[in-house]
Amino acid sequence: MDNGESRKNYRTRQQESLENYFRLNPQACVTADELYMHFAGSGGKISKATIYRCLDRMVESGTVKKFLSGGGEGATYQLIDSGNGCDRHFHLKCTCCGAVIHMDCEFMDEFERHIMEHHNFRVDNGRTIIYGLCGSCSSGAKSEE
């Protein structure tokens, strides 16, 4: 498809800041705006356009994944922690409180296998978010919005 070898990736402060952020917060699920705010407050301000462009590059190079946060309020970006984590398990997102549960469980292998064998469909764990209600929200409280 595409060879990145012809691409000369310059190492700029902005890019390093972003990479560094993800390295320090491997499980962070952040929007472009949150990143913008984060760096704006830290003094090392990065323009939004640059954030989007850097994130795009990271998505394309497979460093980061992008998904929609459920409300259409803006895409969320998260580090792809190859070999350890988030691209291997599912995410349960509470539609009430917004909590994200990282579900690392062998049952999911079974789940994937079932879907593959019975429905001829290859599940993309990294992109799939299962919506529902977490324990606290489903047990009682519904008062909060």
**Least Å from the CB of residue 75 to its own copies:** 6
31 binds, among DNA, its own copies, none (CB under 5 to 8 A by kind): DNA
The CA distance from 8 to 13, in Å, is 16
**Least Å from the CB of residue 61 to DNA:** 10
End-to-end Cα, the chain, rounded Å: 46
- Which residue carries 């060879």 as its tokens? 3
| From candidates 37, 42, 73, 132, binder to DNA by CB under 7 A | 73
| From candidates 41, 43, 72, 140, binder to DNA by CB under 7 A | 72
130 binds, among its own copies, DNA, none (CB under 5 to 8 A by kind): its own copies
Residue 22's alpha-carbon distances to 16, 27, 46, 81, 103, in angstroms, are 10, 8, 15, 10, 20
